[in-house]
Structure 1
């Protein structure tokens, strides 16, 4: 996956970080520019429920290679503006 951008919907699983034993849907607000280990990044955004509603604002530390594009049935992958 290419670097995530604001508005991207991600399906974050254990392959992105061991803390995600239970996968989550995550809408990216921004990629934080903090220094990290090679291949890792901090993302700020909203954890979504299965309906696509934001349930928590979070900052998550993940491996870029483990991120997957997400799709919630009936919800567009990008917000409509």
Structure 2
């Protein structure tokens, strides 16, 4: 939270990588619901309530993350219609066995 009480992180979709926190060695995509003002993190850090997203932009897990708002990169994510999504290919069934 800023000194005037407004959140530093607005709801939206963000890419989180090492700039947001060392924990994101492998970048992830999240949809932030809100900043959590009841926690008191060190200066320049904050907690956010969010959903981790898959490659289609669908929520896969709800999380609370400790991040640096300056390192969060906003992303414009266009929805992928279900009809056009690729399904993972299944291994071919083995004959006999």
- Band the TM-score falls in, shorter-chain normalisation: 0.7 to 0.9
How much has 1:57 moved relative to structure 2? 0.3
Bigger CA radius of gyration = 2
How much has 1:64 moved relative to structure 2? 1.3
Per the alignment, residue 9 of structure 1 pairs with 13
Per the alignment, residue 29 of structure 1 pairs with 33
Query: Which runs of 5 or more residues in structure 2 are unaligned?
Result: 1-6, 80-97
Query: Which runs of 5 or more residues in structure 1 are unaligned?
Result: 76-81
Per the alignment, residue 70 of structure 1 pairs with 75
- With structure 1 as the length reference, what TM-score do the two structures score? 0.81
Structure 1 residue runs of 4+, over 4 Å off? none
Q: How many residues of Structure 1 are paired with residues of Structure 2 in the alignment?
A: 72
Question: Larger strand proportion, structure 1 or 2?
Answer: 1
CA distance in 2, matches of 1:20, 1:70: 16
Match of 2:51 among 30, 46, 52: 46
> What is the RMSD of the two structures over their aligned residues, measured on CA atoms?
1.4
CA distance in 2, matches of 1:18, 1:51: 25
